[in-house]
Structure 1
């Protein structure tokens, strides 16, 4: 049996990409890139996360496609503000090829009114699940649902995923790398899937963020080669904030009052240096020269006549 990434994708009908709880930018970028690539390849794919997306990820392309739902296979009907114990039985029938659902209340109780009926779609109908990031199954709370038993599950990340639930069979594609985005970029390339400029841009952002601008010890030659290829494919690096993007005066271009302070102190410092280098005799002579001549003249005081 071929367990390559491409073979698993090709044999799947519906793909669910699950992001770890509270993912960082790298994990979201990797998941979105894979989602966009498989979508462009004609796959029925959903990307989901149990925690909401924050403004940190707003610069990633396609982030609005991340949902908290696990799919729309099952139609769910819910009665809002209606006591469930008032229901006697639920039955269905098919009339003229149309499905009919009947909810019968107990004697003496009313049926739910139309305003109390809420219709939604839920439930994982995916036969192939891709886990992005994480270190153990607690990072993916939805794995406890019975819907996933029997589904093919793979894991992508830089660390192995520990699974205690023996009913879940997880094939790991985890390996050492600068980021999960680097791993996803390699798998998309090996599988011959699409990498357009939007996908490349997301992957660049993930690699650069997780590698701390290539300062991480996990950065390798493959990291730089992957980054270069993504740039050639039309990927754009996230623009860094420049000082000229702020209003004039918002960012000081020199230390506060430095020029004013130095210009005030320089004459005093110079005078202090000169005085400290003088002998006592020279200092006394300097003081005598600075005294105005009128100070040494005799003073004549005259009284004020009072008539």
Structure 2
């Protein structure tokens, strides 16, 4: 279905990528990367998630663009804490190409105040929906609305097939793949879609996070091949930096724990005792300097024959 997925995606002009509640880092990385690539190819894209992003995802490029809204096709205007029975009619005018909405209240009714005016958006305006790791509708949380499943074509990305309550017409799947980022990296490379350093860095981060730096048993040849694709595109390795930061914080916490004293029974804390001084060299206090007698070292004088000229005397032995 990969070819069909690519064909459906190529024909779309606007794309909505939807993540499940509390998604894995790999899923977020793959969604952002595909969205960025499609945007650079001229399409309108949005990434939505029902739950907010945590600090875990802060190193991902464009993570701040993830929204919790499905779309902005329809503008909704409401008056907060206002009795709707006081409204008579609602009309609109267009003057000088300016739109005006007129709310007419009944006789004796108090018109709504400006501070009561609230606006929001609803409606999915995308041509295609891409469910990233969403296997069933229950994982959509507050985004689980009927309007989501009316109109747009539905597709899926994952390492397994979605449930029947999400009727997809195409999917980017591979049960042998280790991560979603591996799937997206191979897909972008195969179809020659925009694939810059930021996209490569996100995908490599997703691959490394899933395989824990290529150390898990499910790390496959495909993992290394996808990582090589990303590195050739100039990917930066954020996973090692994030791991070092977490390890450093953990080690600091352990050091703090080691310095704490455990209270004994009765609520008394043990007193810290210094090392034993038995048999140790006494320490001289700086406030009480000790005088050390100086020892004069005199140079040794050579014997007198060393100062006389040397004369060699030969003897004949018979």
Give the conservation status (yes or no) of the 8 Å contact 1:243–1:251.
no
Q: What are the Cα deviations for residues 248-307 of structure 1, in whole angstroms up to 9, with x where unaligned? A: x9886xx99xxxxxx98xx9xxxxxxxxxxxxxxxxxxxxxxxxxxxxxxxxxxxxxxxx
Partner of 2:170: 171
Cα offset, 1:139, TM superposition: 1.4
SS in 1 for 2:173: coil
Give the conservation status (yes or no) of the 8 Å contact 2:72–2:121.
yes
Partner of 1:81: 81
Q: What does 1:43-192 correspond to in 2, within 5 Å?
A: 43-95=43-95, 97-141=97-141, 142-164=143-165, 168-176=167-175, 177-192=177-192
TM-score, normalised via structure 2 length: 0.70
TM-score, normalised via structure 1 length: 0.73
Cα offset, 1:244, TM superposition: 11
Quick one: distance in 2 between partners of 1:235 and 1:198?
Answer: 7
Cα offset, 1:169, TM superposition: 4.1
Partner of 1:302: none
- Is 1:241 the counterpart of 2:244? The answer is yes
Gaps of 5+ in 2: 260-274, 280-318
Quick one: distance in 2 between partners of 1:44 and 1:111?
Answer: 39
Gap change, CA 1:85 and 1:147, over 3 Å in 2:
farther
Q: Decide which moves more: 175-184 or 94-103.
A: 94-103
Q: What does 1:1-40 correspond to in 2, within 5 Å?
A: 4-40=4-40
Quick one: distance in 1 between partners of 2:224 and 2:25?
Answer: 19
Give the conservation status (yes or no) of the 8 Å contact 2:5–2:170.
no
Cα offset, 1:235, TM superposition: 0.4
Q: What are the Cα deviations for residues 66-113 of structure 1, in whole angstroms up to 9, with x where unaligned? A: 111222222221212222333333233444544332222334322212
TM-align CA RMSD: 3.0
Q: Decide which moves more: 85-94 or 236-245.
A: 236-245
Give the conservation status (yes or no) of the 8 Å contact 1:137–1:163.
no
Count of aligned pairs between the two proteins: 253
Gaps of 5+ in 1: 257-262, 268-307
Gap change, CA 1:242 and 1:95, over 3 Å in 2:
closer
Quick one: distance in 2 between partners of 1:194 and 1:164?
Answer: 33
